[in-house]
Chain A
Amino acid sequence: MSLRLRVVLIAGLALALVWGAAAAWLAHDIHRNLDRTLDERLAMSARMVSGLLQRAALQPGASSPALEGAVSVGGGQGIACQIRSLRGEILAASGDPTLAARAAPPPGFADVETGGALWRTYTLHVDDFVVTTADRVDERDALVRGIVVAAGMPVLLAVLGGLVALWIGIGRGLAPLDALRRQLQARAADATDPVDAGGAPAELRPLLSALNGLLERLSLALAQQRAFTDAAAHELRTPLTGIDTHLQLARLSGGDARDAALDRAGSGVARMRRTLDQLLALARAEVAPAVDDPCPSVLAAVRDAIGSGTNAANGRVACALVGEDRASPMPHSMLVTAVRNLLDNALRHAPGDSTVEVAVECAVGEAACVIRVADRGPGLTAEEMARVGQRFWRGDRGRPDGAGAGLGISIVRAIAARHGGELQLRAREGGGLVAVLRVPAA
């Protein structure tokens, strides 16, 4: 249902209800007042006739022309009049004859039905006569109806006119909404510039500022997404170019040169596979884990991470437990991936003969376990510290081989953020870098 129809229906119904109640009250009041007035007229007519009879000192059985005259005075103007003797005989009557055929009504006001019609009567006992005046009730009702229609027609017109005015007026009042709709419809599908709130009414401004806030966040997310896909494409295209170049070279040359070129193409494939694996790991780290993968022991996960490395790396990693081993609510595989990435970084940057020290620090009652990975590599400068964790940023760019994809820290951060952990990188005393991964303990 359109907003306009809704508002008009609500306002129109309320308006009609109020006007209807007022009209009903008016009609009722008119009816009551008119009844009283007409009753008074009836009584007055009866008293007038009785006054005439008293003044003329007529006796029952007197000549009827005088009585007829009296009746005609009391009657007329839609009022029937009868004069009876105390015994009930009709001495004179005017108006509807059916009423005369009936017995005299009780004194005072009464409602009498005769000949299919309803009568309002007033009966007065005067000396030896009974004077009755009567009104037809349906005539009275017709009169009331006439007055109600005459008074009600303008009200009805006012109500209908009011509804039309409401429809048009609300349409006009909603024009800013319509203008906003048109402005939004005219936008390109990927437009994220803010909507112009300049001429918007005060009621729309909070909505528009909320909308603009949403658009701003959306535009930021889109820009990040674009930067990410751009960088991902670049990171995949670079090894692909290397592979392609060396395959072409293999075709162009022969003998040892061809074998060397194929060898180099193979190393490009390995690098591309690493980048793809890391991209997949990042994607997995960012979505909720689908499988049930409990982590009963943080230490076991760290040992798995150390064990999943190459043999050469194994001898260079020293692992120590401080305190009690604990379980963690985060999935085992995610913890292994996170520690594996920290270890890879440490091993890549540390000098070949140095040891990478891994410490698992857990205590009973603590909410978190701390995993420290410390190396004796070159560490990070303040500028690098700010950039590390940017996707595809590599601290080792320009180095010939063993280069990472630039996603490791991003993966660890994504896993930590997903599962309520935290990663901090600090300079190590005496040179090198310490990665401190805090994971929740169960």
Chain B
Amino acid sequence: MRVLVVEDDALIAEGVVAGLAAQGFDARSVCTGASAEAACVDEDFDALVLDLGLPDTDGLALLAALRAQGIEMPVVVLTARDAIEHRLAGLHGGADDYLVKPFDLRELAARLHAVVRRARGRAVPQIQAGPLRIEPHSGLAWLDGDPVALSRREIDVLVHLADARGRWVAPDALHERLYGLDSDVGSNALNVHIHNIRRKLGADAIRSERGLGYRLGWEAA
């Protein structure tokens, strides 16, 4: 899951990015409102972690600007001010959740999973597709009730395909959702993951069609 962390304090940004990475997220950070806006326009993120006190703009103003551009990704607001007014302003301003600094990294991860899940229209924290069951927040998967060892990336691929709800996902789109615009990752990496998933779950797990892309082999519940 790709997360953009907008935080002006280098120490916190570094910690949050590393903490999210340790919990299976693919996070990167920017320290100004302008660079955050640019990053959101250029790339696809699953969620945004937004600090309200930014040097160049107010976090809420940035949030309003993003929403005005039709960017609907879930946003978790970080605030150092725990007065109820600040929290309400964040929620009314279009945030999906908030955390007061200092916060628990595991709680941040859990809240990110929850807001992403809700944003994709899933009420339960698990994805069920045919014989396959996935827990995105823990990274665990089961096939016909038996645990299957899948890597983080493999879980991410399956979650993205499940969230597409039966539609075809173009390889480029899937690649970008997984790796962003990171040019260091070769186009072969995705093929490797698809191959490994098919090896572990069976060839029917992911269908591919030239010119259309990929689709989950089972209908997601």
A→B interface (CB under 8 Å): 230, 233-234, 237-246, 248-249, 252-253, 257, 261, 264, 267-268, 271, 397-398, 400-401
Contacts and interface: CB of A to CB of B under 8 A. Distances in A.
A246 B56 CA distance: 26
B11 A253 contact: no
Given A230-B81, A252-B22, A398 B14 contact: no
Contact of A234 (B22, B56, B80, B103): B80
A264 B11 contact: yes
- Residue of B11, B12, B53 most packed against chain A (CB within 10 A): B11
Contact of B101 (A241, A248, A249, A252): A241
B196 interface: no
A242 B15 contact: yes
Contacts of A401: 10
Contacts of A244: 102-103
A236 to B, nearest CB: 9
27 contacts: A230-B81, A233-B81, A234-B80, A237-B101, A238-B9, A238-B101, A240-B101, A241-B80, A242-B12, A242-B15, A245-B12, A245-B15, A245-B102, A246-B11, A246-B15, A248-B19, A249-B19, A249-B105, A252-B105, A257-B18, A257-B22, A261-B15, A264-B15, A271-B11, A397-B55, A398-B55, A398-B56
Contact of B14 (A243, A264, A397): A264
B151 interface: no
Given A249-B18, A249-B22, A241 B105 contact: no
A234 B11 contact: no
A137 to B, nearest CB: 94
Contacts, number: 74
The 5 closest A-B pairs by CB, nearest first: A245-B15, A242-B11, A244-B102, A241-B101, A241-B102
B23 A252 contact: yes
Interface in B8-60: 8-12, 14-16, 18-19, 22-23, 31-32, 53, 55-56
A253 B102 CA distance: 19
Contacts of B102: 237, 240-241, 243-245
A253 B22 contact: yes
A334 B5 CA distance: 42
A238 B81 contact: no
Contacts of B15: 242, 245-246, 248-249, 261, 264
B72 interface: no
A246 B102 CA distance: 11
Interface in B136-153: none
B11 to A, nearest CB: 3
Contacts of A239: 11
B56 to A, nearest CB: 8
A248 B23 CA distance: 12
Contacts of A397: 8, 55
B18 A238 contact: no
Contacts of B11: 239, 242, 245-246, 264, 267-268, 271
B106 to A, nearest CB: 8
Given A249-B22, A252-B23, 9 more contacts: A234-B80, A237-B101, A239-B11, A248-B15, A248-B19, A249-B105, A268-B11, A397-B8, A398-B55
A268 B102 CA distance: 13
The main secondary structure of chain A at its interface with chain B is helix
Contacts of B14: 246, 264
Contacts of A398: 8, 31-32, 55-56
A233 B14 CA distance: 21
Given A264-B11, A398-B31, A400-B10, A241 B103 contact: yes
Nearest to B22: A252
Nearest to B12: A242
A81 to B, nearest CB: 108
A299 to B, nearest CB: 39
A216 B119 CA distance: 48
A245 B80 contact: no
Nearest to A245: B15
Nearest to B16: A245
B104 interface: yes
A245 B105 contact: yes
Contacts of B104: 248
A409 to B, nearest CB: 18
Given A245-B102, A248-B105, A261 B18 contact: yes
B32 A238 contact: no
Nearest to A239: B11
A243 B8 CA distance: 15
Nearest to B11: A242
A267 B14 CA distance: 13
A233 B80 contact: yes
A250 to B, nearest CB: 10
Contacts of A267: 11
Contacts of A400: 10
A151 B18 CA distance: 106
Contacts of A237: 80, 101-102
Contacts of A268: 11
A397 B56 CA distance: 9
A252 B23 CA distance: 9
A264 B81 CA distance: 23
